[in-house]
Amino acid sequence: MLNIILMGPPGAGKGTQATRIIDEFGIPHISTGDIFRENIAKGTPLGLQAKAIIERGDLVPDDLTIGLVKDRLCKDDCAKGYLLDGFPRTIAQAEALKKMGPEIGRPVTLVVDITVPDEVLVERIAGRRVCPKCGASYNVNSMKPKVEGICDRCGAELIQRKDDNPESFKVRLENYYAQTQPLVDFYKEEGIYHHFDGMIGFQKVSEGISSLLQANK
């Protein structure tokens, strides 16, 4: 069963790899960041609560995030697996998932962690353009779309994320080291942790993750 967590610092390539994994394995992509951004765009109560927090690079409170993920994991399309991108991000979220997974019959089976040095993350974030419709990520320097400014997958116009500025990125990176990186030891202890070097090129990272998933599906 592929019940997967994709983790890594901001800009490591989680969203980029997720797009390819879901195309190959046919499991839903659950990105808490994408869910919050959709809610912000629609002006929902959740979006209104999350907007300022996300734009300055801080983490949305655990209770809001955990409830949202639990509802999403209970949906029918997660019965054959799921790919969590950007959740959990705190020990409290990981503990909650450890409890809820078995309760709903969908425990996490694999953790895929992609890491990249800080100086490369800064460059990637500066050059990133994203699709507001399907969530695909591009880069004006390294991963250009076929037609400038247009999403290859769905044809929508690409945008720059509000939190992709140097000030918010600094806060996101600090939060990652303080709150999210401790999850590495948490999942090593669980025996389901797998590390990938995000510097070996998109294709090679992708092939490595694909082999791991094929062997565990």
Q: Give the footprint of Mg ion on this chain (CB under 5 A).
A: 14-15
Site membership for ligand AP5, residue 127 (CB under 6 A): yes
Which residue shows structure tokens 């949305």?
A: 60
Strand-strand pairing, 193-197 and 110-115: parallel
Q: How many residues bind ligand AP5 (CB under 6 A)?
A: 36
Q: Which stretch binds ligand AP5 (CB under 6 A): 74-82, 105-113, 146-154, 195-203?
A: 195-203
Identify whether 89 is a catalytic site residue: yes
Identified binder of ligand AP5 from the candidate list 8, 73, 81, 113, rule CB under 6 A: 8
Identify whether 20 is a catalytic site residue: no
Site membership for ligand AP5, residue 135 (CB under 6 A): no
CA distance to 92, 188, 203, per residue, from 182 (Å): 11, 10, 28
Site membership for ligand AP5, residue 39 (CB under 6 A): no
Closest approach, Cβ 99 to Mg ion, in A, equals 26
Identify whether 70 is a catalytic site residue: no
Identify whether 75 is a catalytic site residue: no
User: Containing H/E element for 195?
Assistant: strand 193-197
Strand-strand pairing, 128-130 and 137-139: antiparallel
Residue nearest to ligand AP5 (CB): 33
Contact 109, 216 (CB under 8 A): yes
Of ligand AP5, Mg ion, none, which one does residue 25 interact with (CB within 5 to 8 Å by kind)? none
What six digits make up the tokens of 150?
């247009």
Q: How far apart are CA 78 and CA 149, in angstroms?
A: 32
What six digits make up the tokens of 53?
């927090």
Site membership for ligand AP5, residue 86 (CB under 6 A): yes
Residues 6+ apart with CB under 8 A from 144: 138
Residue 58, phi then psi, degrees to nearest 5: -85, 175
Binding site for ligand AP5 (CB under 6 A): 8, 10-16, 32-33, 36, 53-54, 57-60, 65, 86-87, 89, 93, 124, 127-128, 137-139, 142-143, 163, 172, 198, 201-202, 205
Catalytically active residues, by annotation: 14, 89, 128, 161, 172
